[in-house]
Amino acid sequence: MKTNFLSTLILIIALIFISNYSNAQTQTSGNKVEYKGAKKKLAVMISDVKHFNTTVETVELLELKENGLTFEIVIVGILAKEIVENKELIELIDRAEKSGAQLVICEYALDILKVDKSKLDKRIMITPNALIYMFELNDKGYNTLVY
C-alpha cells in the first residue's frame, strides 16, 4: 500500500514539474532574453528542423546586433537535406539572416545525402566539414554548442 502511494505521489510531482517546465519554456517566446556570458561570439551545430526552429527563435530573442553578438548556425545531418528540399524552411532562413546570424552548411553531409548543391540557398555558406569548422570556431574564441 505504501509503495503504491509513494509511486503515485512521485508521479504527481513529476507531472507538476514537467507542466511547470513546459510553461516556463513557452513563456519566453516573444520576450527579449539577456545573455550574461563574457564571450560575444557564439556558434551552434544543429541537425534537425526542430532544433533549427528553436535556434532561430533564440537568435531573435538575443537581439544580436543590438547586443554586439556574433552567432553562427552550423547545419549538419538530415537538416542539410531538409534545408535544400523543404521550401517551408525558407522562412526560418529569412528570420535567421534578418536577426544577423550566419548560416553555414556541411558539404560532407550534402555529399553523403546526395543533395544537389546548386539548389542550396545562396545565403548559406558551405564548409567542407562541420566538425572541423566547429573546432576552428572554438579556436577563434567562439562558445560552441552541439544541439
Q: Which residues of the chain have pLDDT under 50?
A: 6, 9, 11, 19-28
pLDDT at residue 30, rounded to an integer: 56
pLDDT at residue 8, rounded to an integer: 53
Does residue 108 contact residue 134 with C-beta atoms inside 8 Å? no
What are φ and ψ of residue 76, in 5° steps?
A: -135, 180
pLDDT at residue 26, rounded to an integer: 39
If you search the block for the grid coordinates 534537425, which residue do you land on?
48
Task: Classify residue 138 by its DSSP letter.
Answer: H
Calculate the CA dihedral of residues 133, 136, 138, 141 and round it to 10 degrees.
Answer: -130
Q: Does domain 39-146 have CATH number 3.40.1260.10?
A: yes
> Which conformational region is residue 101 in: left (phi greater than 0), alpha (psi within -120 to 50 degrees), or beta?
beta
Contacts of 7 by beta carbon, 8 Å cutoff, 6+ apart: none
CA-CA distances (angstroms) from residue 142 to 41, 66, 72, 93, 138? 5, 18, 9, 22, 5
